[in-house]
Amino acid sequence: MTAHKSGPAIFGSLAALVAAGPILAVAWVAISAPWGDYLIHLMHTRLTGYVLNTIIVTSTAMLLAGIIGTATGWMIARLDFAGRGIFAWALALPLAVPAYVAAYGWLDLTQSAGPLQTPLREAGLPALAHLLPVIRGPFGAGFVFAITLYPYVYLIARQAFAEQHPDMQNAARTLGASRWRTLTGVTLPLVRPALAAGLALVAMESIADFGAVSHLGAPTLTVGVVRAWAGAGSVPDAARLAVVLAFFAYLAFALERQSRARARFGQTSGGYRQLQRLRLSSWQSGVAAIFCGIPILLGLAIPLGRLLYLALTEPTARGVMDGLTNSLGLASITAILAAVLGLGAAYAIRSGTPLGVLSARLASLGYAAPGAVAAVGALVLFAALQTVMDGIWGGRFPVLLSATAGALVFAYLSRFAAVAIAPCEAALTQVTHRLDEAAKTLGAPSRRILTEIHWPLILGGVGIAALMVFVEVMKELPATMILRPFNTDTLAVIAHNYAADERLGQAALPSLIIVLATIPAMILAARSLTRGADR
Amino acid sequence: MTRLFLSAIIAFSAMACSQPTEREVVNVYSARHYDSDEVVYARFTEATGIEVDLIEASGDLLIQRVQSDGDRSPADVIITVDASRLQRAEEAGLFAQTDFSSFASGVSDRFIDPDGYWLGFTLRTRVIAYAEDRVDPAEITSYMDLADARWQGRICIRSSDNAYNQSLLASIIAHHGEETAEAWARSVVANFARPPQGGDTDQLRAIAAGECDVAVVNHYYYVRLANSSNQEDLDVADGIGLIFPAGEHGTHVNISGAGIAANAPNRENAEALIGFLLSEAGQSAYVELANEFPAIDGTQFDNPTVRSLMGFQADTLNVSTLGDNAEAARRVFDRAGWP
């Protein structure tokens, strides 16, 4: 593999390095601050429990999200059935439901005092009521993450399935391989980078979540981090735990990449050929529609429906329209910048230069750190930057950097760099170096290679990166809370404030609007996918 | 040259977020996020012409933000909902020492920081809710009674991540020492009806569902159900009574408190705001809309349910001891295996 330097790669390396700033600031705090005895106390008491919960929550979420995301992604990309056009974007909607909102809805619904168990008990069937599962504990939390985060896998896998060259499957089938063998032996291995990218995002977000796991009684290491932080002057201890957390997440995916690198699959061409979707008979169509409907029901309709039902008897939420404007503005700006960042970083990784790969990986690390800690990292960074600005200015620099909207957008970018990079990287792996070499042999200048070969192949991936970051920003809490300018509420903040105050009904409306506000973007992404496949 | 360039950026960003300089403001960093607060701030602006600029976030994040902005922080007033958070903010040097005596004449001394950095403006009690058909309220006169084996499999309470549980245990440590507190926590864990999950309202609903007989909750969650327009909520509240323990050290009281920021750019406005929070207009809003207890005795308000709960025997310790014992409380919880 030739390491070739190009504009995008150099830009990407630098941008990723800047985006890695907050997590590096966290690491600096972890290393430089004096040590207390909290970590030793933790080791003697709850560390094992935290680690165990983290493993159960994350692996449950990955397993379920992997199955749901891959199956639905394949169905949408490869099958033609009634309602496919709607499911194509609707399947991504649960991503817009904040995990803690789904957790509140599900626990409220399934707990002993909830509307499922109560009627059974009142009908004199307490034993039957007791048999119903309660969505709580580490498995319950894993379930909640799976049904709200599977769209990561779905979106990236769908793209990969759609861009896969049908000749491969045709060849396998011609050689007498069964459909199943074709699927497991050819189709799935080819989308492995995409699956890994999606699952990595599911895992990292599950690891970093605080709201859902603490509500469902499944304290993971992140709960330990937040608790450490609540202790007097324990920011350094929280930073240490967060760094360890991010490191392990990184290690897991580094190992996965290593094993993938040994079995390198490349496609000789991308989605230029019309992909023949398998047309389903009417009853098969029905089965497919039901299958695609279930995750939407679990991740979106049931938990939000429960909250909306509660909303019927509660006063409406305040400030929702202002919140919508703020959320949309912040999410759109960040999504566009993130797509540029993700694309640049993906090129940096592809270039193979040590700086490029390292900075892109570092930038992705921040996603596995608890959001509150990442926000503190941004604060530390801005405080340092303020000192630098004072130096350049030669006195007190008149703008408080941390109080600007730019600071918030930067914090988002750095937190969600992983979300932006993963789909871009997955898309770019579809473009093999051999493709570049062929074009070069034909005398094409690198600009033409980029615009006429790379761009059409990776457009879908970049779009998905922008979409996923858009949705993430719509849901983001800690950085928004602490870096927002005065009097600026977002929908996520409004929803959280009501939910934290145990006014679930009032949290319903802002949550629902978050979901509704992402629909246009989801449809747009689904359209671009269809166009790509039709070319 | 660099300076010129930077000036251009500043001029631009100043234009982008143009604020008329004439405006009288007070910058509030608050960990409260209730509808009642909006009402109080609106009333304050109406009465004084001073506008309230607001940032709401969790207490820990607020402390971090004000600390990292240092002497540039625009914060005038810092508000948190748990006394131990106020103590942390004080230790981080975020507050200016203030003579509260001029506007806090009705506030009991135990809700004012002895060092004069902050004071409480609303009170919230952590009380014991019980199923009226299954529990004789005379069985419990103190939080310590919850350790009794007769409650085995009958207690619902939230996780120890909850700040109000931490402060409750901190008060027990203050009265009885760490060893007794740890033994108490272990016994309560042994009496759990189920692993901690959900919020305080969920614990109340669990009593109604028969999953447990007693629960430890902040009083205003019960009041909200009792004052609700929803029949299901009323049914839950109907079968539940509240015990305000009068034995041993009395009922645990926590505060929503405020202090003036060390580098407050609008100090006079900050004092005016805190004075207003303690006025009848402020206090009545907190009681009527958030169901908290007023910090000023004799406040007039319209909330019969809250009125009926008043007159309890409150813990006499100064609330600043909660912060002193908060870290110890978290560690006792960890050792006791309280999730």
Which pLDDT value is given to residue B200? 96
Interface-testing mutation among B18, B88, B169, B334, with chain A (most A C-beta atoms within 10 A): B334
What ipTM does the predicted assembly reach? Answer: 0.88
Q: Are B60 and B13 in contact (CB under 8 A)?
A: no
Alpha carbon distance B107, B7 (integer Å): 48
Residue A7 burial (CB count, 10 A): 12
**B317 falls in which pLDDT band (50, 70, 90)?**
very high
| DSSP-derived 3-state class of residue A338 | helix
User: Which of A8-17, A90-99, B42-51, B104-113 has the weakest average pLDDT?
Assistant: A8-17
Q: What is the reported pLDDT for A501?
A: 87
Average pLDDT over residues B28-35: 92
Taking residues A474-502, what's their average pLDDT? 89
d(CA A480, CA A492): 9
Encoded tokens for A513: 């609007």
Which residues, in sequence order, are CB contacts of B183 under 8 Å at separation 6+?
B147
Cα–Cα distances in angstroms (integers) from residue A396 to residues A387, B71, B75, B264, B267, in the given order: 9, 11, 18, 17, 21
CB neighbours of B16 closer than 8 A, spacing ≥ 6?
none
CB contact under 8 A, B69 and A402: yes
Q: Across residues B158-171, what is the average pLDDT?
A: 95
**CA–CA separation, A387 and A346 (whole Å):** 32
Write out residues 404-463 of A within 8 Å (CB-CB) of B.
Answer: 404-405
Inform me whether the pLDDT recorded for A316 exceeds 80.
Answer: no
If you average pLDDT over each of A78-92, A221-235, B128-142, which comes out highest?
B128-142
The answer, yes or no, to whether residue B292 has pLDDT greater than 60, is yes
Size of interface A-B (CB pairs under 8 A): 155
Site from B7, B13, B19, B58 to mutate, A interface, most A CB atoms within 10 angstroms: B58
pLDDT: is A351 or B299 the higher one? B299
pLDDT value of position A2: 41
> For A170-222, how does the pLDDT look when each residue is reduced to its tens digit (9 = 90+)?
788 788 888 788 888 888 888 888 888 899 989 989 998 988 998 999 999 98
Q: Can you tell me the distance from the alpha carbon of A165 to that of A267, in angstroms, rounded to the nearest whole number?
A: 8
Element (H, E) at A392: helix A371-393
Subunit contact B205:A113, Cβ cutoff 8 A: yes
To which H or E segment does residue B169 belong?
A: helix B163-176
Is a pLDDT exceeding 80 seen at residue A299?
Answer: yes
Q: Which of A276-280, A474-478, B205-209 has the lowest mean pLDDT?
A: A276-280
Give the torsion sign (CA, B80, B48, B37, A505): negative
Q: Considering CB atoms only, which of B10, B55, B61 is closest to A398?
A: B10
Chain A CB within 8 Å of residue B110 CB:
no
- On the question of pLDDT at A107 being above 70, the answer is yes
Radius of gyration of chain B measured on its C-alpha atoms: 22
**pLDDT exceeds 60 at position B12:** no
Distance CA A170, CA A90 (A): 30
Judged by average pLDDT, the poorest of A161-165, A343-347, A376-380, B22-26 is A161-165
pLDDT (tens digit, 9 = 90+) per residue, A349-377?
Answer: 888 888 888 888 888 888 888 888 888 88
* pLDDT tens per residue across span B225-235: 999 988 989 99
Confidence of residue A269 (pLDDT cuts 50, 70, 90): very low
Contacts of B62 in chain A (CB under 8 A): 482
Q: What average pLDDT does this structure show over B286-294? A: 96
A239: nearest Cα among A479, A53, A8, A38: A38
Tell whether A270 is within 8 A of chain B (Cβ): no
**pLDDT recorded at residue A64:** 98
The answer to whether B322 and B87 have CB atoms below 8 angstroms apart is: yes
> CA-to-CA distance for B58 and B80, rounded, in angstroms?
8
Q: Does the pLDDT of residue A318 top 50, yes or no?
A: yes
Tokens of A295: 């995750």
Among A320, A298, A331, A326, residue whose Cα is nearest residue A471: A331
Q: Do A219 and B339 touch (CB under 8 A)?
A: yes
C-alpha–C-alpha distance, residues B31 and B66, integer Å: 13
Among the listed residues A144, A54, A151, A56, the one whose alpha carbon sits nearest the alpha carbon of residue A101: A144
Q: Is A42 on the interface with B (CB under 8 A)?
A: yes
Minimum distance, in Å, between the CA of residue A257 and any CA atom of chain B: 36
Whether the pLDDT of residue A1 is over 90: the answer is no
**Phi, psi at A225, each rounded to 5°:** -65, -50
**Do the Cβ atoms of B216 and B154 come closer than 8 Å?**
no
At A271, is the pLDDT very low, low, confident or very high (cuts 50, 70, 90)?
very low
Q: Which of B18, B64, B124, B203 to mutate to test the interface with A (most CBs of A within 10 A)?
A: B64
pLDDT greater than 50 at residue A410: yes
pLDDT at A268: 44
Between B249 and B103, residue with greater pLDDT: B249
**Percent of the residues in chain B that have a pLDDT greater than 90, as a whole number:** 83
- Determine the pLDDT at residue A3: 42
Element (H, E) at A374: helix A371-393
What pLDDT sits at residue B40? 96
Contact B35 A223 (CB under 8 A): no
By mean pLDDT, which of A48-57, A79-88, A295-304, A354-363 is the weakest?
A354-363
Strongest mean pLDDT among A363-372, B68-77, B213-222: B213-222
pLDDT at A10: 85
Output the pLDDT for position A530: 54
Q: Determine the pLDDT at residue A270.
A: 47
Q: Report which of residues A449 and B67 the model is more confident about.
A: B67
Using CB atoms, pick whichever of B33, B159, B211 lies closest to residue A112.
Answer: B211
**What pLDDT is recorded for position A372?**
82
- CB contact (8 A) between residue B159 and residue A487: no
For A529, the enclosing helix (H) or strand (E) is helix A504-534
Place of tokens 């006195």: A395
**Between vectors from CA A63 to CA A61 and to CA A65, what angle results, nearest 5°?**
60
Instruction: Pick the closest to residue B192 from B182, B203, B181, B200 (CA basis).
Output: B203
Helix H, strand E, coil C: the string for A99-139 is: HHHHHHHHHHHHCCCCCCHHHHHHCCCHHHHHHCCCCCHHH
- pLDDT for A345 beyond 70: yes
Interface residue of A215, A220, A318, A404 to substitute, partner B, most B CBs within 10 Å: A215
Q: With 80 as the cut, is the pLDDT of residue A427 above it?
A: yes
pLDDT tens track for B77-121: 999 999 999 999 999 999 999 998 887 888 999 999 999 999 999
In three-state secondary structure terms, B248 is: coil
3-state secondary structure (DSSP) of residue B136: coil
The pTM of the full predicted model, rounded to 2 decimals, is 0.90
Q: Bigger pLDDT: A65 or A403?
A: A65
Find chain B residues with C-beta within 8 A of A402's C-beta. Answer: 65, 68-69
Report the C-alpha gap between B148 and B140 in whole angstroms.
10
**What is the distance between the alpha carbons of residues A188 and A193, in angstroms, rounded to a whole number?**
10
Higher pLDDT, residue B11 or A54: A54
Judged by DSSP in three states, A402 sits in: helix
How far apart CA A179 and CA A171 sit, in angstroms, is 12
pLDDT of B19 > 60? The answer is no
pLDDT of residue A469: 94
- Quick check: B211 contacting A, CB < 8 Å? yes
Q: What pLDDT does A533 receive?
A: 45
* Spatial CB neighbours of A275, under 8 Å, sequence gap ≥ 6: A77, A78, A162, A164, A166, A533
pLDDT at B49: 96
Predicted local confidence at residue B5, as pLDDT:
59
Q: Specify which residues B85 forms β-bridges with.
A: none
**Does B50 score more than 80 pLDDT?**
yes
Residue A496 predicted with pLDDT over 80 = yes
Task: Tell me the average pLDDT of chain A.
Answer: 86
Give me Rg for the CA atoms of chain A. Answer: 24
| Pick from A141, A37, A22: nearest CA to A482 | A22
Q: By C-alpha distance, which of B303, B254, B283, B308 is closest to B31? A: B254
